[in-house]
Each structure stands twice: as structure tokens, then as C-alpha cells.
Amino acid sequence: EAKRRAHGSLQVFEPKMAAEVNRLLQLESDIRSSYQEHRFTFHLQPLIDLHARSLVGAEALIRWNHPMRGVVSPYEFIGFLENSEMINPVGMQLLDDVCQFIRSHKEQGRFPPEMRIAVNISERQIYDADFVGKCLSVLQKYKLPGSCLEFEITEGAALHNLDEVVDKMRKLQNEGITFALDDFGTGYSSLSYLKRLPVNKVKIDKSFIDDITIDPQDAAMVASIIAIARNMNLLIVAEGVETDAQAQWLSQYDDILIQGYLFDKPLQPEVFSQNYLPKPPAY
Ligand code: C2E
Ligand code: MG
Ligand code: MG
Ligand code: MG
């Protein structure tokens, strides 16, 4: 945006704008070299069945191990990355890494067959002409069934061409990959996308969960979302559960999955497997 404006004929050139252009160019070149140096990695945050108190899966969350700045939060770069072509190679590298993690744990007998790792997929990735083919070849490379993966999308992903997105989702679902609608409730037309996208799960956004125990309106909205999702036979995740009181409130339902700091933070993959996956069989 700053780049485009900088070319506007009536735009007065300001030092502040130049600084912003420089920042974005720097970010872009940092992303390119970090991709080549494999500095994008992922953490895993456990997904828990609140009622059974058991692990059902995990979400892979991208991390940037920046050469100068250390580990950078996605909030600082994901918007930029998602608007750049680089989201495609970076996203595929991450999917490859996740599948490699699953493969090596399967080989050690440490990956429960019913478990899935969720990967966030952004709009640009889905519209890549060969998105489905690329996903399937990663599965093939590691000899994995689609049933070890879930893809998280947001309603924004379907904005441009709903039919194309639905078609790709169905092809991937035929291979066993399931879909979750992420950040549910924060978009402009969440219900309409819930109706049109063949998702298996909704993730209720943290902003609705934050005040469920103190704000009756938020509680009413979450209760309604849960009712709709149940009627549609969808799995339900409450995102960003931080307090016992929130978990207590949610436990009035017997079918809620939770993800949040109350249970655990996103962890380095080795820590996740150490703490949550079955131990390697002793010989
Ligand atoms: P998201 O997919 O909705 O992921 C949930 C975010 O909430 C994660 O932030 C997670 O660390 C954070 N979170 C989980 N539990 C709690 C909690 O109890 N309290 C608080 N305050 N936060 C909690 P993170 O890892 O910083 O990721 C932020 C966003 O960046 C993600 O939101 C997702 O939209 C995006 N993102 C992350 N990884 C990827 C990726 O591989 N690809 C794409 N396209 N986007 C990604
Ligand atoms: Mg997500
Ligand atoms: Mg979310
Ligand atoms: Mg998000």
C-alpha cells in the first residue's frame, strides 16, 4: 500500500513514507532469506477434550526464528506474508515439516491413529492452482494418510471464489483431511460461510471466550454458536481459554474441545512430544 501510494503523482514525498517503504522491503527480503535458511518453524499447542480431559490433537503455529530478532510472533509478520507470494513456499515448507514430524513419530509408535495436527492455510494458498496436488504430494512423500491432518481456514478464504474453494476442500476431504473454520464469529458473514463451506469443526474465536463468565451477552452468543454447531454435527473448539472459570463455564457442555494457555501454550515440537505423546516403547 505504501509502495503503491509512493508512486501517486500528487503524493508529496515524505521521509516517514520512505521509512515505511524501506521497512516493508526489508521485511520482504528477510522473509525470502529466512525461507531459504529454513528459519520458519512451528510450535504445537495441544487441543484438549474438556470433558474427557484428554489430548485430541494439536495446532501447528508458525514461528520465525529471525537471525537478528530471535523468535518473532506471527502477529508481526503473518499479515504481510499472507499478502505476499512467499506465503505459498513458506506454507508448503511448514506443511512438509509437520508431516515429517508426524512420520517420525509414527515410526516410533508415538502418533496415536486418531490424532490430527491442524495447520493454518491462508487464502492465497488455497487459490494456488496446484494447492491440492501439492498437499497430496507432501502426504505421499511421507507416506501419510490425510487423516493425520486438519486444515484451518477463515471465512475470508472463500471470499473470491467460493466454488473453487469448496471444490478443493472436497478433494482434500476425500483424502481424509478435515477442515476447521477458524476465528469463528469475527468475520462479516460467519453464518453464511458456515452454511456454504463443508467444514467439520468450528473454532470459536478467543474474543468471544474472553468474557463468557462476566458478560451475559458474550455467554449468550457462545451458547448460540454451540447450539448451531451441534445442530450441524460440527466439532466445537473454544479458543484462548485462560482461566478455570472459563473452563468451568464451558464444561456445562459435554462435547467442547479447548485450546488455550489454561491448559498449555504452543510448545516446541520436541517438548510437545515429550509431554503429550506416548513414550517410545521400551525394549
Ligand atoms: P489462530 O490460528 O487463531 O491461532 C491461535 C492463536 O492464539 C495463536 O497465536 C495462539 O498462540 C494463541 N493462543 C492460544 N491460546 C491462547 C490463550 O489462551 N491466550 C492468548 N492470549 N492467546 C492464545 P499465534 O501462534 O501468535 O498465531 C497467531 C495467528 O497467526 C494465528 O491465529 C493464525 O491466524 C496465524 N498463523 C499462525 N501460524 C500460521 C501458519 O502456519 N500459516 C498461516 N497462514 N497463519 C498462521
Ligand atoms: Mg488457527
Ligand atoms: Mg483462531
Ligand atoms: Mg487467526
pLDDT in tens, 35-57: 999 999 999 999 999 999 999 99
**If you measure from the C-alpha of residue 203 to the centroid of ligand 3, how many angstroms do you get, rounded to a whole number?**
6
Residue 3 to residue 84: CA distance in whole angstroms: 13
Q: Which residues contact 261 (CB under 8 A, 6 or more apart)?
A: 240, 241, 242
Residue 122 to residue 31: CA distance in whole angstroms: 17
Residue 158: its pLDDT value, please? 84
Report yes or no: 136 and 155 within 8 Å, Cβ to Cβ: no
Give the ligand at the shortest distance from the Cα of 266: 1
Residue ranges for the chain with pLDDT beneath 50? 1, 3
Quick check: CB of 92 below 6 Å from ligand 1? no
Residue 32 to residue 266: CA distance in whole angstroms: 25
Residue 152 to residue 256: CA distance in whole angstroms: 17
Mean pLDDT score of the chain: 93
Quick check: CB of 120 below 6 Å from ligand 1? yes
Q: Each residue of 122-171: pLDDT tens digit?
A: 999 999 999 999 999 999 999 999 999 999 999 988 888 999 999 999 99
ipTM of the complex in this document: 0.97
**If you measure from the C-alpha of residue 155 to the centroid of ligand 4, how many angstroms do you get, rounded to a whole number?**
11
Query: Could you tell me the three cell numbers for 210?
Result: 474472553
Residue 58 identity (one-letter amino acid): A
Report yes or no: 88 and 96 within 8 Å, Cβ to Cβ: no
Quick check: CB of 150 below 6 Å from ligand 1? no
Residue 165 to residue 168: CA distance in whole angstroms: 5
Ligand 1: atom nearest CA of 62 is: 38
Q: Which residues contact 217 (CB under 8 A, 6 or more apart)?
A: none
How much is the pTM?
A: 0.94
Residue 179: its pLDDT value, please? 98
Residue 130: its pLDDT value, please? 97
Residue 5: its pLDDT value, please? 52
Quick check: CB of 62 below 6 Å from ligand 1? yes
